[in-house]
Structures are given as structure tokens and as C-alpha cells.
Amino acid sequence: MKSIKTKAILVATLLSTSLAGMAQDDIKDNEFNPITTGVTSLSITPDARGASMGDLGAATESDCNSQFWNPSKYAFAYSSAGVALSYTPWLRKIVNDIFLANLSGYWKLGSGDNQAVSASMRYFSLGEIQTTDDGGSAMASINPFEMAFDVGYSRKLSEKFSMGVVLRYIYSDLGYSEYSSTERTKGASAFSADISGYFTTYPVIGRNECQWSLGWNISNIGSKVSYDNGDNPAFLPANLRLGTAFTFPLADYHNLTLAVDANKLLVPVKPRLSDFDNQEDYEKALQEWKDESSISGIFKSFHDAPGGAKEELREITFSVGAEYAYNQQFFFRAGYFHENKWKGNRNYFSLGAGFSLNVLKIDAAYMIATAQNSPLDQTLRFTLSFDMEGIKGLFGRK
């Protein structure tokens, strides 16, 4: 089943790293050491707004897609309910049938307007793959995929602070066996949870009322995932996201938001043979890594890098972005995402725009990789959002 393995490995690698721009001599330097996880599609930005600002959203104003960035923001949402559908053709410079679809929404509870329930579902398709036997003859076609469904609850704990929790079910079906050319494997399931917080205040600078927000989200805290009956477990992409955003008026109807996010995967580094003096020590460390629990792995991820504190700092990615809004109807966005070259080398600019009219909002994003041969270059995202409170108003309901 060579054709299946090749595409699956290619996609799994490119989900977390672009490898573009990495010189061969650099890789031989033994410093290239990205963190590997299972179900890496959970880390892909689903919506156009966040993507167009450099893949950030921990502290930006709440929208329908806050479930991915920081679900505690829903408690501060202006509308009582909203739904959004997003679509991303993925790695389209290499293949044309891989995509991510995401549906998310929320509903404010009670008359106090201080709590909300939310949900989202994502579906990541690896497209159609033609299987072959060991002799190269065509067999059946399969459609590997990964999906996740989650529900969340958020609540204001004060006028300026809220917290949220999310419970998630994950299913990954790569549809092939590494050891058999005829056996189709069962999909792997996992469960995880998120916990988040959001603080926002409205300082007056000069004569203008501004908005300053802080947000954090620890996501995908959960079980491991394995495709080989537990023989080869992988950590979920548990992640710590910290961010801040500041919005200030430029003039009447003109607002500008500046935002920054920092991320760190809470996953221990997988041992490499090159880091050990002999095979026996390597095998022992690898087995310990396999036996490590997800929770202990989170704490270990802060101090286990072979290169010490210097390498730990390399594991942090940064996003900076800006959003210009005119009358909350027209939006223009730009951002930049940076990842250390030894940890994946994903570096790209992003642009986007949005248009809002009554109950409908349309957003689009476009990625420009700094390396011309990056498979992530020219990635497009589209999001269609609906204000359910506005839809009720169209029908005369209050």
C-alpha cells in the first residue's frame, strides 16, 4: 500500500511543518527538531478572520468562531446567538482534494446575558487515495479523514472577566495499516478538554473610549491517540495560547485593532537516536516517552528539550495582526506568523477582508509564505457567519 503511506506521511508532515527553505546542511546540523503530535489537523486555523490576522484570536473581539481561539469570549458576545461555516482548501499547491470544513456557533443563556453555550464540528478530509498491493496493482479507493465535535460553556465571573470550558470528541481514520497491504485499520478515538479565560476593559485615552483585552486558552488536554492498538501512541496537540488585543477609534466609524498571540505546544519532545550515546539508552527513553501520560507530558514539555532553555524558547510561535473596521460593516486585515526554523519554519504573511450586512457576514483570508516553495503558500479560507438574533428580527420576533 505504498500510495497510501506516501500521501499520509506527506500530509502528516506538512500539517505541522512546511520544511520550505530548510537547507540540507541545516537539517544535518541536528538542530531541526519539531514537536510531533497525533491528529495534527486540530491545530489548523478554521476561520478566515483569525487566519487573516496571522493566525490569532485569543483576545480579539468575540465572534462565532471563538470556540477554536478562546471560548470564554462568548460570554461577552453582543448578539444572543450566531452560527458560522468555514471552508479551507488545504495544501492546494500539492493536491486538490484535501480540505477542512468547520461549523461553529453559540447561544447566550438567560436574561442576564452573562453565560453562553457553544459547539463546533470540524471535518478534515485527506481526499481520495487509490490503494495498491505490493506489486503495484490498483485495489480499492479509500477516503481518510479526521473529525472532532465539541461543546462548551462560558460565563462572566465579573463585569470584565469570564472563563470557559470545552469537552471534545476526536476521531481519526487514516484507513491503512503500516504492516499489511490488505488490512484496513480501525479509526482511533480520543477525548480532550479546553479551559480558557478572557479579560476586557474600556480605558479612556484622551477623549476616546478604547478596548483592551487579554486572553488565554489551554486546549486539547486529553487522552493519547493510537492507530496500532496502543503500540504507537501519539500525544494530542495540547497547546497554550496567550494573547492581547487593543482597539482604538481613528475617527467616527473608523476603528483599528492591534493584536498579538503566543503559542506553545504542551507536548514532550520525542527522543531521537542522535541525542544518545547508544541504542539501549535511546530505546529506554523512547519507551518512557510512549508510556508518558498526557498530563505529565504537559509539565514535562517546559523542560525536556535537548538544547535546554534555548530550544524551549524556540518552541514558541508568535502571531501579530491588525484589523481595520469601518462602521462594523467593512473589514480589512493583515498579519504575520512566525515559527523558529528549527521547529518547523512556518513563516508567512496573511491578508483578508470582510463584509457585514444585517444578519450575514462574509470573510476571506489569503496566506503568503515567505518561502516561494512552501506548500502553505496561497492558502485560502472562507467563512460565512449568520447573526441569529438578526434573523429573528427580520421575522418580527423579539
Condensed to tens digits (0 to 9), the pLDDT of residues 108-125 reads 998 778 999 999 999 999
CB of 89 closer than 8 Å to CB of 78? no
- Of the pLDDT bands very low, low, confident and very high (cuts 50, 70, 90), residue 173 is confident
Give the separation between CA 196 and CA 216, rounded to whole angstroms. Answer: 6
Q: What are phi and psi of 125, to 5 degrees?
A: -100, 130
Comparing C-alpha atoms, which of 365, 70, 385, 64 is closest to residue 245? 70
- Of the pLDDT bands very low, low, confident and very high (cuts 50, 70, 90), residue 31 is confident
Among 27-31, 372-376, 389-393, where is mean pLDDT lowest? 27-31
Among 22-26, 156-160, 163-167, 328-332, where is mean pLDDT lowest? 22-26
Query: Residue 25 above 80 pLDDT?
Result: no
Show the 3-state SS of the chain.
CHHHHHHHHHHHHHHHCCCCCCCHHHHHCCCCCCCCCCCHHHHCCCCHHHHHCCCCCCCCCCCCCHHHHCHHHHHHCCCCEEEEEEEEECCCCCCCCCEEEEEEEEEEECCCCCEEEEEEEEEEECCCEEEECCCCCEEEEECCEEEEEEEEEEEECCCCEEEEEEEEEEEEECCCCCCCCCCCCCCEEEEEEEEEEEEEECCEECCEECEEEEEEEEEEEECCEECCCCCCEECCCCEEEEEEEEEEEEECCEEEEEEEEEEEECCCCCCCHHHCCCHHHHHHHHHHHHHCCHHHHHHHCCCCCCCCHHHHHHCEEEEEEEEEEECCCEEEEEEEEECCCCCCCCCEEEEEEEEEECCEEEEEEEEEECCCCCCCCCCEEEEEEEEHHHHHHHCCCC
Q: What are phi and psi of 16, to 5 degrees?
A: -105, -20
User: Per-residue pLDDT averaged across 240-253, rounded?
Assistant: 96
Comparing C-alpha atoms, which of 47, 61, 52 is closest to residue 243? 61
Exposure of 391 by Cβ count < 10 A (0-12 exposed, 13-18 middle, 19+ buried)? middle
Among 15-19, 218-222, 257-261, 326-330, where is mean pLDDT lowest? 15-19
Q: How many domains does the chain have?
A: 1
CB of 88 closer than 8 Å to CB of 49? no
User: Per-residue pLDDT averaged across 7-31, rounded?
Assistant: 48
Residue-number span of the structural domain to which 312 is assigned: 2-394
User: Per-residue pLDDT averaged across 323-335, rounded?
Assistant: 96
Query: Residue 2 above 50 pLDDT?
Result: no
- Of the pLDDT bands very low, low, confident and very high (cuts 50, 70, 90), residue 137 is low
Query: Residue 231 above 90 pLDDT?
Result: no
User: What is the length of the chain?
Assistant: 398
Condensed to tens digits (0 to 9), the pLDDT of residues 176-213 reads 544 444 455 677 899 999 999 999 999 999 889 999 99
Query: Residue 368 above 90 pLDDT?
Result: yes
Which three cell numbers, joined as nine digits, stand for 144?
481518510
In this predicted structure, what is the pLDDT of residue 23? 39
**CATH number of the CATH domain containing 281:** 2.40.160.40
